[in-house]
Structure 1
Amino acid sequence: MVDLIECYFRIRLNNKEILGVLAQNHNIIISIRTLKRRCRKLGLFRRRNQTDIDQVIAFMQEELRGNSQMHGYRWLHLRAVQRGLVVSQETVRQIIKALDPHEVQMRQAHRLRRRLYTTRGPNALWHMDSYDKLKPFGICINGCIDGYSRYVLWMEAYTTNNDPKVIASYYLQCVERVGGCPERLRADRGTENGHVEGMQNFLRREHSDAFAGEKSFLYGRSTANQRIKSWGGILRKQSVQFWMSLF
């Protein structure tokens, strides 16, 4: 039991969590008073034996290199604990505030910068996705843009955006209109994108570049897609046109 207490203490569980883990996983039931007494005998103190502040600062400087705006004090405190440092969250917060005041201010203002997006050129990568927030009103949106130029290749409103045949028709009409397919096409793992994947792979099957055949289609999360900056205006226009077509 002594080894278990020390192990759970080292991974920064509080007293109630240690008691719960001991009872649930090891059938060891003790009082919180007994736990505190055992911790004192083992020399386990949460506010004593703090890591030297210079060592903590050096660790924070190392972690803040690069995209430091994404590193909040709670996340950095967890990283410090995982590294074996004994330090409080408040200490970590004060260190970050001193080392990186600009990014702290940006986080407080909820103004996180988006990561830089790069691609080789026009038609190197198309981004395709659906917009479902208007589905309760019977309007299902599907769109696609060129990642390099942000040019809107199609933005269609219909009664569904889950039918693979409907999405495939958008893709084929666009390929016919622009006179070719992209080097790569990116979409999420929705079932409606299956036909488009097969068509993209077929059209690129005889190319000799690094993204030929099956490599010409890639799946990814919708949240990581390139944004359409004029999304709201395009949706309003398409929604009006869709509703007018019904009458």
Structure 2
Amino acid sequence: MGTLCFMEGGQYDPAGQAFYRLRRLASYGLYRRKNFSDVLQVAMFIFEQLKSSSCLHGYRWMHSRCLQNGFIVQKEMVRILLGILDPSGVAARVKRKLKRRHYRSKGPNYIWHLDSYDKLKPYGICVNGCIDGFSRFIIWLRVGRSNNNPRIVAGFYVEALTYLERVPHSIRSDMGTENSYIAEMQSFLRRNGPGSRTAFLYGTSQHNQRIESWWGILRKECVQFWMEFFEQMKQDGYFTGDFIDKSRMIQYFFMDIIRIR
């Protein structure tokens, strides 16, 4: 147990306690670290780290990186240097805000985002949509009995081209088989144009952010109501989820209503 230092009157003396600890360390031949790395070199190392994904991390992680690379530096010094070199990053971490990327498109009809929406699929209602990446104009938003049939989805594409009388520069979608016919037609129509290799782009949902963002709006403004409505029907015993319920009851009575909404 260590010895506590008290001032006159019985009050605890932190300065005296610190002096006692230093004297105790000296008696063992131990001293506080004095051979710290040059601050400028540490700052240059942190500056280079900020050019990579390390810019997303805080001073504790950066301090560990400094130690791993042979620098002898205090954690407080790393915190101060980060505040100087990356003030915006520090402010964002304090607010716990993500640094979002900015979506860019060269113009109308440059890229269309295509996707299917399956939140109502357990109840027999299938949604497929396409949106222009630049203007967020909804190219089509269709409700039907299936959004997995490539012939049906390709029909939406042909109707859109006929109505708009133009072909987009590119289309982006996920790897779903329902998009296979559209991929072939789009690649054929753009085969002689500039950027023919990127006429149809496959990717994950994270890269299809325009239509994914629209699905969030659709659920908030419309779909959530129907999800709760159908779930309540299920709890009340009016819907069991079998083929007859989906194809006869839900689709027959509610599909046209959802289309209007």
- Scaled by the length of structure 2, the TM-score of the pair is 0.59
Partners of 1:219 and 1:75 in 2: how far apart? 36
Which residue of the other structure, out of 49, 57, 73, is the alignment partner of 1:72? Answer: 57
> What is the Cα deviation at residue 100 of structure 1?
2.5
Deviations 1:75-102 (A, max 9, x none): 75676578x3446895655543453233
Q: Flag the 1:124–1:246 CA change in 2: closer, same or farther, 3 A.
A: closer
Any residues of structure 2 matched to 1:189-200 within 5 Å, and which?
Answer: 189-200=175-186
Gaps of 5+ in 1: 1-46
How large is the Cα RMSD of the aligned pairs? Answer: 3.8
Q: Which has the higher contact order (CA 8 A, sep 6+)?
A: 2
Mapped pair 1:217 → 2:200: yes
Paired letter, 2:203? G
Moved more, 51-60 or 180-189: 51-60
Match of 1:151 in 2: 137
> What is the Cα deviation at residue 245 of structure 1?
2.0
Match of 2:146 in 1: 160
Mapped pair 1:184 → 2:173: no
Which residue of the other structure, out of 189, 198, 202, is the alignment partner of 1:203? Answer: 189
Q: Flag the 1:66–1:160 CA change in 2: closer, same or farther, 3 A.
A: same
- Scaled by the length of structure 1, the TM-score of the pair is 0.62
Q: Flag the 1:221–1:230 CA change in 2: closer, same or farther, 3 A.
A: closer
Which residue of the other structure, out of 110, 121, 124, is the alignment partner of 1:135? Answer: 121
Q: Flag the 1:120–1:49 CA change in 2: closer, same or farther, 3 A.
A: same
Partners of 2:39 and 2:70 in 1: how far apart? 10
Partners of 1:153 and 1:208 in 2: how far apart? 22
Partners of 2:95 and 2:112 in 1: how far apart? 33
> What is the Cα deviation at residue 108 of structure 1?
3.8
> Contact 2:35 / 2:72 at 8 angstroms: preserved in 1?
no
Q: Flag the 1:65–1:172 CA change in 2: closer, same or farther, 3 A.
A: same
Partners of 1:164 and 1:110 in 2: how far apart? 43
Structure 1 stretches of 4+ with a deviation exceeding 6 A read 47-50
> What is the Cα deviation at residue 149 of structure 1?
1.2
> Contact 1:49 / 1:86 at 8 angstroms: preserved in 2?
no
Match of 2:46 in 1: 60
> Contact 2:125 / 2:255 at 8 angstroms: preserved in 1?
no
Partners of 2:218 and 2:51 in 1: how far apart? 39
> Contact 2:143 / 2:255 at 8 angstroms: preserved in 1?
no
Same amino acid, percent of matched pairs: 42
Partners of 1:48 and 1:136 in 2: how far apart? 67
Partners of 2:103 and 2:63 in 1: how far apart? 30
> What is the Cα deviation at residue 50 of structure 1?
6.9
Paired letter, 1:119? S
> Contact 1:184 / 1:217 at 8 angstroms: preserved in 2?
yes
> What is the Cα deviation at residue 133 of structure 1?
3.7
Work out which of the two has the higher radius of gyration on C-alpha atoms and give 1 or 2: 2
